[in-house]
């Protein structure tokens, strides 16, 4: 383990901003049913279900933990905010507070660093998002500069791509089979409350709109401008895209998921009944107390909470399944999911005891953070399906 060289409150606030500003900095995952841990092996608990068909029996084997040494400038990082991997299994860790991306081999050995602080080619001010296309080109979005820095798989800087001037903030991107950029973003039209998903070419020239939703941000109006606070439980747009370009998107004020074609045409709607969960006064006080340490009383007094929590928080895809993350059980450190077929048929409820970030090449990658110790590790889990299990280890 390594210790982060930032203050406790700064770390908590920054991590909150990271979680609640972005719709999702994660890609597809492959979760399982309620899990129990045996050494480094996570296995499904025996559970009964009302539906006869279940998602694949799988287990996760922790096979790599990257624990950078804070005494080594090249391999330490202050705040790992994202992780990606290329076709060779190399691991890319987005390190915003050090204004760079750390690259490790598939065995966790430090390989190289991309970027540094600055305003020149390949330099960063606020690196916020990372993704890698099928050709292993690396795209890193700088929130301050509103541009993408593109590097080759070998780490050579290629170009900066300036985002559309009307984009206020990029929140998520996917890259389609034609290397076009599918971008989810907040539009800077003066109100800062229009969320769009649009298609751009590889140089970020606009091609077409695929989705639009108004009224998606919690705005705090100040003298001389507008501030957007990362207020927990505020409804937001969440989405993901499959390998065929089909988009699954929800404005999570309700439990409804729209299925759109690659052209943004409506295909289907997936929904499920749920019991609304009210936000308790204790939870409101906790959020207000945290923000009061970073913002003035005038700002905090403008906060308006919704009456109930959003019923879902993230969407993930694997094979023919849609995983809908519902909530986190803090006491049990569990993340609950509903599992659907792509047709919309409900299958089962599952849980994980860690927050996934990406699923590639039969591995799940995540960043595990400890708020009390101010530590963070990058962890990789190998996915094993039931057909891969030794006969004497197949879950019953």
Residues 6+ apart with CB under 8 A from 201: 180, 181, 207
Residue 269 covered by a domain: yes
Domain with residue 308: its CATH number is 2.120.10.30
Taking the CB of residue 51, how many other CB atoms lie within 10 A of it? 10
Closest CA to 359 of 394, 315, 395: 315
Predicted pLDDT at 218: 55
Cα(228)–Cα(169) distance, rounded to whole angstroms? 11
Which segments of 86-156 are extended strands (E)? 91-95, 100-104, 110-114, 127-132, 138-142, 147-151
What are the b/e assignments for 307-342, b being 16+ CB within 10 Å?
A: eebbbbbbbbbbeebbbbbbeeeeeeebbbbbbbeb
- Tokens coding 233: 């439980």
Predicted pLDDT at 390: 45
Residue 2 covered by a domain: no
Cα(242)–Cα(318) distance, rounded to whole angstroms? 8
Question: Structural domain tally of the chain?
Answer: 1
| Strand-pair partners of 308 | 278
What string of H, E and C letters represents the secondary structure of 107-123? CCCEEEEECCECCCCCC
Instruction: Give mean pLDDT in consecutive 10-residue pieces for the chain, a chain of 396 residues.
Output: 34 39 35 38 35 55 85 78 92 91 93 91 89 89 86 91 76 86 79 82 89 72 52 85 93 95 95 92 88 79 84 83 83 82 89 81 84 77 66 39
Cα(57)–Cα(350) distance, rounded to whole angstroms? 11
Pairing status of strand 82-85 against strand 58-66 = unpaired
Residue 1 covered by a domain: no
Predicted pLDDT at 187: 77
Residues 6+ apart with CB under 8 A from 141: 127, 128, 129, 130, 147, 148, 163, 170, 173
Question: pLDDT by residue (tens digit) across 76-118?
Answer: 777 788 899 999 999 999 988 889 999 999 999 999 999 999 9
Residue 85 covered by a domain: yes
Model confidence pTM above 0.85? no
Cα(93)–Cα(83) distance, rounded to whole angstroms? 5
Cα(282)–Cα(267) distance, rounded to whole angstroms? 41
Residue 324 covered by a domain: yes
Residue 380 covered by a domain: yes
**Is 231:16 a contact under the CB 8 Å cutoff?**
no
Side-chain-facing half-sphere of 62: CA atoms under 13 Å: 17
Predicted pLDDT at 301: 79
Predicted pLDDT at 191: 58
Closest CA to 323 of 242, 211, 234: 242
Cα(356)–Cα(360) distance, rounded to whole angstroms? 11
Residue 374 covered by a domain: yes
Structural domain boundaries, residue 251: 8-390
Predicted pLDDT at 208: 95
Give SS3 for 361: coil
Predicted pLDDT at 99: 92
Strand order in the sheet with 321-329: 314-318, 321-329, 334-341, 346-352
Question: Looking at beta carbons, which pairs linking 131-134 to residues 24 or more positions away fall under 8 Å?
Answer: 131/84, 131/173, 131/174, 131/175, 132/84, 132/85, 132/86, 132/92, 133/175, 133/179, 134/87, 134/175, 134/177, 134/179
Which residue has 């399944």 as its token pair?
321
Predicted pLDDT at 354: 80
Residue 395 covered by a domain: no
Q: Which helix (H) or strand (E) holds 206?
A: strand 206-214
Cα separation values, 391 from 143, 243, 395, Å: 50, 32, 9
Rounded to 5°, angle at Cα 300 from 296 and 301:
115
């Amino acid at each position: 383990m390594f210790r982060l060289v930032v203050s406790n409150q700064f770390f908590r606030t920054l991590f909150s901003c990271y979680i609640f500003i972005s719709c999702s900095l994660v890609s597809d995952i492959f979760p399982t049913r309620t899990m129990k841990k045996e050494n480094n092996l996570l296995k499904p608990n025996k559970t009964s279900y009302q539906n006869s068909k279940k998602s694949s029996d799988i287990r996760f084997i922790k096979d790599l933990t990257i624990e950078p040494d804070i005494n080594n400038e090249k391999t330490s990082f202050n705040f790992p905010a994202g992780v990606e991997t290329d076709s060779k299994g190399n691991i890319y860790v987005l390190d915003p507070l050090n204004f760079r991306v750390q690259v490790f081999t598939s065995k966790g050995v430090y390989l190289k660093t991309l970027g540094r602080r600055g305003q020149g080619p390949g330099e960063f001010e606020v690196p916020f998002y990372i993704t890698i296309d099928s050709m292993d080109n690396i795209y890193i979005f700088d929130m301050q500069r509103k541009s993408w820095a593109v590097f080759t798989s070998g780490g050579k800087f290629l170009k900066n791509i300036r985002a559309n001037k009307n984009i206020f903030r990029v929140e998520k991107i996917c890259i389609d089979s034609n290397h076009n950029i599918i971008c989810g973003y907040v539009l800077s039209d003066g109100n800062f409350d229009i969320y769009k998903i649009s298609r751009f070419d590889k140089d970020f020239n606009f091609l077409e709109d695929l989705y639009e939703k108004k009224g998606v941000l919690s705005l705090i109006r100040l003298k001389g401008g507008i501030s957007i606070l990362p207020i927990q439980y505020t409804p937001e747009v969440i989405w993901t895209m499959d390998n065929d370009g089909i988009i699954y998107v929800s404005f999570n004020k309700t439990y409804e998921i729209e299925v759109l074609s690659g052209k943004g045409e409506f295909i289907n709607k997936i929904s499920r009944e749920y019991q609304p969960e009210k936000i308790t006064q204790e939870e409101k006080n906790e959020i207000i107390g945290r923000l009061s340490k970073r913002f003035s009383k005038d700002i905090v007094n403008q906060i308006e909470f919704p009456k109930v929590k959003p019923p879902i928080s993230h969407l993930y895809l694997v094979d023919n399944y849609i995983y809908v993350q519902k909530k986190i059980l803090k006491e049990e450190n569990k993340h609950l999911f509903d599992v659907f077929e792509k047709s919309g048929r409900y299958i089962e409820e599952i849980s994980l005891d860690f927050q996934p970030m990406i699923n590639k090449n039969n591995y799940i990658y995540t960043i595990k953070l400890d708020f009390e110790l101010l530590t963070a590790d990058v962890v990789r889990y190998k996915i094993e399906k039931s057909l891969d299990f030794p006969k004497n280890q197949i879950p019953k």
